Structure 1
Amino acid sequence: LSLTLYALPYTLAERIAGPWSGALAGALGSGGAFFLFFANTTDYIPVLLFSFVGILLGFTLAWWRPVIFYPFIIIWNFLLFRLDERRAPAQTPHLLHRHSAFWDEFQRLPLVGLDTHLLLVMERNRQEAEAAMAYLNTTRQRWAARAAQIEQDARQLMACHSIAAIGEAYHRLSTSEATDSASALLRSFSRISQDVDAAMRQESAYNRRLALSAVEDRLDGLLRELTRSNDRYAARFRPIAAHWREVVADVVQQLAEEAEMRQEIDNPYIIGVPLTEKQEIFVGRSDISSHIEQLLLDRRRPPLLLYGQRRVGKTSLLNNLGRLLPSTIVPLFVDLQGPVSQARDHAGFWYNMARSMIRSAQRQRDLILPPLARDALAADPFTGFDEWLDQVETVLGEHLALLMLDEFEVLDMAFARGRLDADGVLGMLRHVIQHRPRWKVLLAGSHTLDEFQRWASYLINVQVVHISYLREEEARQLIECPVEGFALRYEPEATARVLALTRGHPFLVQLLCAEVVALKNEQPAEERRLARLVDVETAVPRALDHGSFFFADIAQNQVDLTEAEVLRLLARQGEETAVPRQVLVDYFPSLMALENALIRLQKRELIERIGDGYRFQVELIRRWFARQPA
């Protein structure tokens, strides 16, 4: 009778207004009905007691029902799982939608086996599983959705049996910025996968082997860490790390055996991408890093501008400042050509900025900065980012933070297109410079601030650090001994010719020397280990062809029509030949246009003045322009 008096009003009210209304109606029904039923009795104590118990049971339904019915619910769910297991994989929909997690909203206890059922459906019907997980993430059973996703990621990682599969794994991983151990492990595997992908994109077998050896070392470190760890996920992910290390080690060994069998000279030169701090080929720049260090210690805290032409090594220097500067300075590198400047609003801009800074601190100084949640920037992005900087300063302690913004010109394009507000972003940078003494700001680009007036008005007293050609001893090291144990020797005349053709331009030195190594590897083994003058000259046309993207960028993006015509005229005169100024004046109808062109070309370090004439600064660039049709 009690059950009936409770169930009838509960069912009616639950259908109309929801479970809590049903509980209230059931409580009043079971308690109130008994009170009316026994209204004529003389002993009210049992009636009142029974009514109170009925009402109490109704109001505490959400607490006692999950516990009492839990064994029956588990049996029901297990039967559904076993039935789904025996169904044909192609038979849909699965019985998962009948699981109690999708209709019993009062159940607060973890439903054992729900994650296993999710995995089964995920393997057979990804779309159905994702819909179920999306719902579960809004309930108390969200643990199961997360556990199933982690296990699915672990299975995908374990299924990578080739180096190509490992290099593609990061595309499929569902990583997040969460601080729990599973998310941290997945981010580690994602970064390793990205490093493998980058390694396999290297042009030379030597650089692939070098990059993969670094990945192997990282996997060794991860294995040791997982072996020592007591974390619950350590045992699950350690076999994956061991498997990946075995795959990577096999490829490294295979590359080494192939190189030994062919007796090839390893080509250490890296063309077209900046050098990272892990690449041994980076040479020199100690004078520039020393100058930067002196300016960083200046009490006036001036902002810095690393200025130099394209491909002259600005980004490579920024990547390597961590090992050139004292450990008390923490470099925070931000590439503005990436997601930062492409953000659609200020929240996305500061979020991507923080992500880059966090990654750089960990890579350069093994320092873990606090995460910045995107939600914290939703209401007020500038205040949210400023508060995050307070947290970063707490972690930094007495260390000095060097915020390095590479390719700052790209950000100006975002201002011009209206995606970002110049006053807000530049005002924030000026605020950091003026009011945060432990922070220094360094911009890097191929333009001066004079060409960007709105930057100049916010960043006052900028100290320019000019980066240009390598010094002769640095260029010689890059030619003759780029890495330890380099097998190719150069005749003195061959080295001198490389210097004369490139003037120590770091990109062009690597471009030409890479072609020399490739040329020597095509020769008989007895002639392979010594580079002669004729080898350098033979490699020049190949370098001009393979480096055409560098030269074409000058012609198409860095000079206007008048400047391009000046370059073509100078190029036709031959090596080290200066064109008299009067010849140029007679050739161009507008003296003002000529003067402006000569000034800009000298500023871009393409030409130089010799006496009363002008010539190319770099012979390889002159040769490329000389090859172009008039």
Structure 2
Amino acid sequence: MRFHSAFWDEWQRLHLPGLDKHLLFVIEHNPVEGKAALEYLSTSSQSWAVQAAQIELDARILERYADVEAIRQAHYNLISGELDSPVSTLLNFFSDISEDVDAALNQRSFYSQSQVLSAVAERLDANLQEISSSQSEYSSRFYPIAQSWLNVITNHIDKLVQITELRQEIDNPYIIGVPLNEQLEIFTGRTSIGLRIEQLLSDRRRPPLLLYGQRRMGKTSLLNNIGKLLPNNIIPMFVDLQGAPSSASDHAGFLYNLARDMEKSAKKQGVTLPSLAREVLQSDPFTYFDEWLDNVEHALEQNTALLALDEFEVLDNAIAKGRFDEQDVLGMLRHLIQHRPRFKVLLAGSHTIEEYQRWASYLINVQVVHISYLKEAEARQLIECPVKDFTLRYEPNAVERVLQLTRCHPFLVQLLCAEIIVLKNEQDPSIRRLATLADVEAAIPEALQSGGFFFADIQNNQVDAAGQAILRFIAAQGEGAIVSHQTLLQHFPDADITFNLLLQRELIEEVDDGYGFQVELIRRWFV
């Protein structure tokens, strides 16, 4: 390999035919030398061959995943997701599917696994058509892999259904760790928020909206299902900024992935948008994206587009790192809001705009839509009748205890109820179908453990050391305890700013002249 002219002819600028295949041959037979060759050539004029070889290596890796346990690990091994190449979209897609399969297999019951995997299979099937019709030179290479993955996932779903029937278990419909999409029956409530969003969308001043609430309060699930809550003339275009848009390496990649997600989301509502080729964006991305928006407005006819950008904080982080230009990206959003009346913009996140000053200066007069706990009637439905023909019944005091422990927090209701079903399925069939107060209490430790990622996020990412100390102090006082403001100041002088932050995060609430936890399960975690 070292005698190849790519390594000694520094004046060679033309692509050397067959170098990519030569690299693959060496990698197969001498991985150490092959890796060294890739590293050397990646900064040379023959870097094209490195990219081509790496893409083929990724394809071969994907081909080896022959069962769901292997597919769930794929996203850990894909390293080319940000290549400046059309294949980056395909690799990001396979990575996303792998993450979704991983999340599905983490569900506690076979029923929940099959539910989430069915949604993944539907997404994969829809994208198969897109891959087959794509003009990308790599489509024919990756289409059979996607088809193989679909077959593996579909076969595993069939096995899960058979296992559930044989064991005669209580089906566990609760979905933990992934947002509820529009196919999942368990999504409930939020009609009042839908009405509030509809009212604000009718405002002729076209203010941008912010859907704000605690983590795991159901913001993404709401956005996935918002089409059910709004009139038919409002076309939701959901974009997850945690995905491909914010992970792109440049503006062309960001706008291409943004347009792609808008297209896919609109298609679910029966609206076909014009496509936007990635190559078009390379020379002048924002100009061509603006022209594409003209075509989108024409395709909308008399409808209104709701551009819903979930997890806007991730995009802010990409801007802070210098990957995107603040003025270009946020200026584009401001221009869209001000000059395109057929578009409404909704951001979703667990922070206010004021906490991100760069956004506040571009998006003026943001209207906040607060998403908080479920209404009690909605929470009761989620407990007692989450899906049709639910076979578990609750004693009245057991339902009341779930409400007390969770305060109708949608994620915590699902978390606790999922653990109750796991517990019941381990009991004798004669008492399996009735949940008692004792069952609820027995499920609490398991819920605190299995929901550790949720509670740890509060502790590690939402409050500082002073906030953690205050929460532990209040938690130690017992269930329902209210600690006076004066007592807290004696132990934590100059902590008024921290108190305000804890109130804003909806972790504590002010009662008379003191503070207490809003949610008992969260208090127990801090104990």
TM-score by length of 1: 0.66
Quote the residue 2:314 is aligned against. Answer: 410
* Residue 282 of structure 2, aligned match among 348, 360, 378: 378
Instruction: Work out the CA distance in 1 between the residues paired with 2:212 and 2:396.
Output: 33
Choose the corresponding residue for 1:286, options 175, 191, 211: 191
Cα–Cα, structure 1 residues 607 and 214, in superposed 2: closer, same or farther, change >3 Å?
closer
Once the two structures are TM-superposed, the CA of residue 560 in structure 1 deviates from its matched residue by: 1.9
Distance 1:467 1:219, change over 3 A: closer
Give matches, 1:275-314, under 5 Å: 275-314=180-219
Other-structure match for 1:77: none
- Measured in 2, the distance between the counterparts of 1:602 and 1:239 equals 52
Report the Cα offset of residue 218 of structure 1. Answer: 8.2
**What is the rounded CA distance, in whole Å, between the counterparts of 1:241 and 1:347 in structure 2?**
26
C-alpha distance in structure 2 between counterparts of 1:283 and 1:484, whole Å: 12
SS of 2:430's equivalent in the other structure is: helix
Q: Secondary structure of the equivalent of 1:525?
A: coil
After TM superposition, give the deviation of residue 551 of structure 1 in Å: 1.3
What corresponds to 1:357 in structure 2? Answer: 262
The whole-number CA distance in structure 2 between the counterparts of 1:239 and 1:595 is 60
**Alpha-carbon separation, structure 2, partners of 1:314 and 1:428:** 24
Among 164, 180, 185, the alignment partner of 1:259 is: 164
| Cross-structure match for 2:500 | 599
Whether the 8 Å contact between 1:470 and 1:505 is mirrored in structure 2 is yes
Superposition map of 1:549-628 within 5 A: 549-588=453-492, 590=493, 593-625=494-526, 627=527
Q: In 1, Cα distance between the equivalents of 2:350 and 2:122?
A: 36
Residue 192 to residue 550, structure 1, CA distance change in 2 (3 Å): closer
Larger mean CA deviation between 198-207 and 465-474 belongs to 198-207
Say if 1:354 and 1:372, in contact at 8 Å, map to a contact too.
no
Identity of counterpart residues, as a percentage? 60
Q: Residues of 2 paired with 1:219 and 1:424: CA distance?
A: 33
Higher RCO (Cα < 8 Å, 6 or more apart):
2
Distance of aligned partners of 1:533 and 1:599 in 2 relative to their CA distance in 1, 3 Å threshold: same
Which of the two has greater helix per residue? 1
Partner deviation per Cα, 1:317-367 (whole Å, 9 max, x = no partner)? 111112222222221112222232233332222222222222222234463
Name the SS for the 1:549 alignment partner: helix
Partner of 2:14: none
Show structure 2 runs of 5+ residues with no match.
Answer: 1-21, 30-54, 130-141
Deviation at 1:572, TM superposition (A): 0.9
Q: Which moved more, 1:335-344 or 1:398-407?
A: 335-344
* Letter matched to residue 427 of structure 2: Q
CA contact (8 A) 1:370 1:392 kept: no
- Deviation string, structure 1 residues 271-299 (Cα, Å, up to 9, x no partner): 12211111111111111011111111221
* Structure 2 residue 351 is matched with structure 1 residue 447: yes
Helix, strand or coil at the partner of 2:308: strand
Counterpart residue identity of residue 329, structure 2: V
Which of residues 361, 367, 380 is equivalent to 1:457? 361
Q: Is the 8 A contact 2:110 2:163 kept in 1?
A: no
Classify 1:292/1:526 alpha carbon distance in 2 versus 1 (closer, same or farther; 3 Å): same
Q: Tell me what 2:438 maps to.
A: 534
1:342, 1:190 → 2: CA distance? 12
Distance 1:454 1:560, change over 3 A: same
Matched position secondary structure for 2:249: coil
1:269 aligns with 2:269: no
Task: Answer whether contact 2:173 2:387 (CA < 8 A) is retained.
Answer: yes
* Gap change, CA 1:167 and 1:369, over 3 Å in 2: farther
1:45-84 residue pairs with structure 2 within 5 A? none
Identify unmatched segments of 5+ residues in structure 1: 1-120, 129-148, 180-184, 225-236
Which residue, out of 412, 434, 446, partners 1:508?
A: 412
Aligned Cα RMSD in Å? Answer: 4.3
Which has the higher mean CA deviation after the structures are superposed, 188-197 or 503-512?
188-197
Letter in 2 for 1:360: S
Shift of the alpha carbon at 1:166? Answer: 7.8
1:220, distance to aligned residue in structure 2 (A): 9.7
Pick closer, same or farther for the CA change 1:469–1:193 going to 2, 3 Å. closer
CA contact (8 A) 1:330 1:365 kept: no
Residue 251 (structure 1) shift: 3.7
Partner of 1:387: 291
AA matched with 2:214: Q
Q: What does 1:181-196 correspond to in 2, within 5 Å?
A: none
Instruction: Measure the CA separation in 1 of the matches of 2:104 and 2:256.
Output: 28
Q: Residue 396 of structure 2 aligns with which residue?
A: 492
Greater CA drift, 424-433 or 339-348: 339-348
- Deviation at residue 462 of structure 1 after TM alignment: 1.1
Instruction: Show CA shifts across 1:127-177 (max 9, x none).
Output: 99xxxxxxxxxxxxxxxxxxxx9xxx9xx98x99756678799999x999x
For the residue of structure 2 that corresponds to 1:317, the secondary structure is helix
In 1, are the aligned partners of 2:92 and 2:244 still within 8 Å (CA)?
no
SS of aligned partner of 1:283: coil
Asked if the contact 2:107/2:176 (under 8 Å) is kept, the reply is: no
Matched AA of 2:193: I
Asked whether the equivalents of residues 570 and 579 of structure 1 are also in contact (C-alpha less than 8 Å), the reply is: yes
Given the superposition, is the C-alpha separation of residues 552 and 164 from structure 1 closer, same or farther in structure 2, using an over 3 Å criterion?
Answer: closer
How far off its partner does 1:269 sit?
A: 1.1
Q: Is the 8 A contact 1:302 1:463 kept in 2?
A: yes
Change in 2 beyond 3 A, CA 1:613/1:260: same
1:355 partner letter? R
Counterpart of 1:331 in 2: which secondary structure? strand
User: Which whole-Å CA distance do the structure 2 matches of 1:399 and 1:406 have between them?
Assistant: 22
Q: Which residue of 2 aligns with 1:96?
A: none
Distance 1:532 1:354, change over 3 A: same
Which residue matches 2:372?
A: 468
CA distance in 1, matches of 2:369, 2:509: 20
Judged with a 3 Å threshold, the aligned counterparts in structure 2 of structure 1 residues 161 and 484 are, in CA distance, closer, same or farther, namely: same
* Contact preservation (8 Å) 2:383, 2:399: yes
Letter in structure 1 aligned against 2:239:
V
Shift of 1:542: 1.1
Q: TM-score, normalised by structure 2?
A: 0.77
Q: In terms of Rg, which structure is larger?
A: 1
Answer whether contact 1:361 1:369 (CA < 8 A) is retained.
no
Number of equivalenced pairs = 477
After superposition, the Cα gap between the structure-2 partners of 1:268 and 1:464, relative to the gap in structure 1 and judged at 3 Å, is same
Once the two structures are overlaid, the 10-residue window that deviates more, 206-215 or 290-299, is 206-215
Whole-angstrom distance in 1 between the partners of 2:366 and 2:168? 52
